[in-house]
Amino acid sequence: MAQQNANIQSQPGLSRREKIAYGLGDISNGLAVSSVGFWLLIYLTDVAGLSAFLAGVAIMIGRAWDAVTDPVMGWITDHTRSRWGKRLPYLLFGAIPYALAYFSLWVVPEFASQNAIFVYVTLSLIVFNTCLTVVFVPYTSLTAAITSDYDERTSLTGFRMFCSQSAFLIGAAVPSFLVLWVVSGGGADFFEKIGLQSFFGSWGGTARQGYFIMALLFAVIMVCSIWSTFFGCKENNTDDDRIESKSKTPLHYARAIVTELKQNPPFRYAVLILLLTNCAATFIAVNLPYYLQYSVSVRDHQTKLITILFLMAIIMVPVWVKIARKFGKAESYRIAMLIYALVLCTLPFIRPDTAEYLYVIAVFAGIMHSAALMIPWAIVPDVVEFDELQTGERREGLFYGGTTFSYKLATAIAVFASGTVLSIIGYVPNQPQSAEVVAGLNNLVGPLPAILLLCGAILSTKYPLTSAKHKEILAQLEAKRSTSRE
């Protein structure tokens, strides 16, 4: 056993170049997820003219479809054989369709009827989320395929989350900046000088032009980031590549996910923690623009506040990596979520005349938000070896398909609930809101996500895979593989 542990410890670590290349790939998802999460609902209601309820339904349908396709994509990647491995081919060929589908979300035609807008938006979201699945499931699966070391995975996830949070910052802050720039006349002057303002027609000088520019810029960056991972990373195609899933169809895969949720405690708790955490994060992201504009009347400060929040999240990524290494992933997550919940509960008490305190809240929220986004994903790859020890199968696609299913299901639930609540409480776009609407927005960004984070913290006490336990599992797997090679 000591020799086996020595073999595991002596495995070469990943180079900084490989970690950076892997991290760059999540810029695409960071841009897409943050811009869609923060701005799509308010774009649909306040710019495209779709009702809050129909906008919530459209986004929910797209995300539900996205979640359903995740297990299918997990099965496909686990059964893929190519010169590049199981996961990387989908990054090469999926990047451009993904970017084009993203762009289509932000160029909603000016249809006369609500039904026409709803159909266009729903179909665009289905296509976009399909492309997201094709790229995102293989990408997240690479964590387990690139390295089997417990701490290296935390470091790899740290690089990924640093890039992701940087992109989150850009995706959350830039749309507001571009829209205000265009509407204020700065955009018209710039594009007039380069002879392109006439291209925008009736959209010139409006919020539609700002979102168009944002979507085009982000789409180009998304392709470049995904291809950076493809050209900079290599899958570990040794023993793991010869250990295949025995599930013959996607339906068997879906059943296997349900079975694992029942029989695999680490997987079950990882899925639930990720679901609750992302549901809370989505409630915050979707409703924060409404809260800042209508509850505390600081629309002009949106870009600054969001920048501070995500800048702190970026800065704290390496700090949380070190904290998780020292105290454990579950323990670090638990403490961070308890503090995060307390911070969120202060938001309903902010008024327009005390809005300056939002800058202090943004700092503390950003520190804890970093842990909320990083640590749950760092937990997931360790489940793969636990399952391999139990079943003899190597099924990264199954587990990442299952976890991304929960991730996207949480988004669908939170967005649909937000749109429904906005309709029920009487939200009217681009108008001063009633006291009932303001109270509803306060609860959507404060107490509600705080409760979800507290539930995640409680569940983390049940997560069984510590660093020591994971090393024992790797040692047992090494012994099995050594025996099979003899």
- Is 242's pLDDT higher than 50? no
Per-residue pLDDT tens over the stretch 281-312? 999 988 998 999 899 988 778 888 988 988 89
Residue 428 in this model has a pLDDT that exceeds 60: yes
Confidence of residue 248 (pLDDT cuts 50, 70, 90): low
Q: What is the pLDDT of residues 70-102, one digit of tens each?
A: 778 877 877 778 788 888 899 999 999 999 999
90 lies in some domain: yes
Number of CB atoms found within 10 A of residue 417's CB: 18
Instruction: Report how far residue 228's alpha carbon sits from residue 100's, in angstroms, rounded to the nearest whole number.
Output: 18
Give the pLDDT confidence score for residue 10 in this predicted structure. 46
Torsional class of 41: left (φ above 0), alpha (ψ -120 to 50), beta (otherwise): alpha
Res 12: pLDDT? 56
**Would you state the pLDDT for residue 411?**
84
pLDDT at 271: 86
Give me the mean pLDDT over the 225-249 stretch.
68
| 14-23 mean pLDDT | 86
Give the pTM: 0.74
Please state the rounded mean pLDDT for residues 168-194: 80
Higher pLDDT, 440 or 468: 440
| Domain annotation covers residue 10 | no
Residue 237 lies in a domain: no
144 close to 289: Cβ distance less than 8 angstroms: no
pLDDT at site 246: 54
Rounded CA-CA distance 104/125 in Å is 9
The angle subtended at Cα 389 by Cα 472 and Cα 67, nearest 5°, is 115
CATH code for position 300: 1.20.1250.20
pLDDT of 243 above 50? no
The overall average pLDDT reported for the chain is 84
Residue 8 falls within a domain, yes or no? no
Over the stretch 443-452, which tens digit does the pLDDT of each residue have?
999 999 999 9
- Mean pLDDT (whole number) for 148-154: 72
pLDDT score of 238: 45
**Residue 160: predicted pLDDT:** 86
Overall average pLDDT of the 380-386 stretch: 79
Q: Is 313 within a domain?
A: yes
Give the residue carrying structure tokens 């669908």: 412
Residue 221 has which token pair? Answer: 């960056």
Give the structural domain span for 69.
15-232+249-480
- Do 1 and 476 touch, CB atoms closer than 8 A? no
- pLDDT given at position 486: 58
Q: What is the pLDDT of residue 249?
A: 64
Contact yes or no for 145/388 (Cβ under 8 A): no
pLDDT at residue 457, rounded to an integer? 94
Q: Highest mean pLDDT: which of 96-100, 185-189, 322-326, 417-421? A: 96-100
Query: What pLDDT is recorded for position 128?
Result: 96
d(CA 342, CA 409): 25
pLDDT value at residue 199: 67
Q: What is the mean pLDDT of residues 150-155?
A: 74
pLDDT band at 468; cut points 50, 70, 90: confident
CA distance 333 to 150: 16
Q: Does residue 224 lie in a domain region? A: yes
The contacts of residue 189 (CB under 8 Å, 6+ apart) are none
Kindly state the tokens that stand for 276. Answer: 């609750």
The model's confidence at residue 485, banded by pLDDT at 50, 70 and 90, is low
| 1 in any annotated domain | no
Comparing CA positions, the residue from 31, 165, 181 lying closest to residue 106 is 31
Q: If you average pLDDT over residues 262-267, what whole number do you get? A: 82
Q: Is the pLDDT of residue 415 over 50?
A: yes
One-letter-per-residue 3-state SS of the chain: CHHHHHHHHCCCCCCHHHHHHHHHHHHHHHHHHHHHHHHHHHHHHHCCCCCHHHHHHHHHHHHHHHHHHHHHHHHHHHCCCCCCCCCHHHHHHHHHHHHHHHHHHCCCCCCCCHHHHHHHHHHHHHHHHHHHHHHHHHHHHHHHHHCCCHHHHHHHHHHHHHHHHHHHHHHHHHHHHHHHHHHCCHHHHHHHHCCCHHHHHHHCCCHHHHHHHHHHHHHHHHHHHHHHHHHHCCCCCCHHHHCCCCCCCHHHHHHHHHHHHHHCHHHHHHHHHHHHHHHHHHHHHHHHHHHHHHHCCCHHHHHHHHHHHHHHHHHHHHHHHHHHHHHCHHHHHHHHHHHHHHHHCCHHHCCHHHCCHHHHHHHHHHHHHHHHHHHHHHHHHHHHHHHHHHHCCCCHHHHHHHHHHHHHHHHHHHHHHHHHHHHHHCCCCCCCCCHHHHHHHHHHHCHHHHHHHHHHHHHHCCCCCCHHHHHHHHHHHHHHHHHHHC
Interatomic CA distance for residues 437 and 421, integer angstroms: 9
Residue 190: the pLDDT is 72
Name which residue leads in pLDDT, 123 or 415: 123
The answer to whether the beta carbons of residues 311 and 303 sit under 8 Å apart is: no
* The residue count for the chain: 486
Mean pLDDT of 107-130: 94
Range scoring the smallest mean pLDDT among 336-345, 402-411, 456-465: 402-411
Residue 272 included in any domain: yes
Residue-level pLDDT at 220: 96
Rounded-to-integer distance, Cα 140 and Cα 26, Å: 9
Task: Scan for tokens 């090679």, then name that residue.
Answer: 485
Q: Rounded to an integer, what distance in angstroms lies between the CA atom of residue 133 and that of residue 401?
A: 9
Question: What is the rounded CA–CA span in Å between residue 266 and residue 400?
Answer: 13
**Rounded (5°) CA angle 322-324-326:** 70
The pLDDT score that the predictor gives to residue 276 is 94
Neighbours of 193 (CB within 10 A): 9
**Does 400 score more than 50 pLDDT?**
yes
Average pLDDT on 145-156 reads 74
Residue 358: per-residue pLDDT: 94
Torsion (CA) 120, 121, 127, 132 in degrees, nearest 10: 170
Does the pLDDT at position 7 exceed 70?
no
Residue that wins the pLDDT comparison between 279 and 401: 279
- pLDDT at residue 4, rounded to an integer: 44
- Ranking 215-219, 323-327, 477-481 by mean pLDDT, the lowest is 477-481
- How many domains are there within the chain? 1
pLDDT band at 164 (very low <50, low <70, confident <90, very high): confident
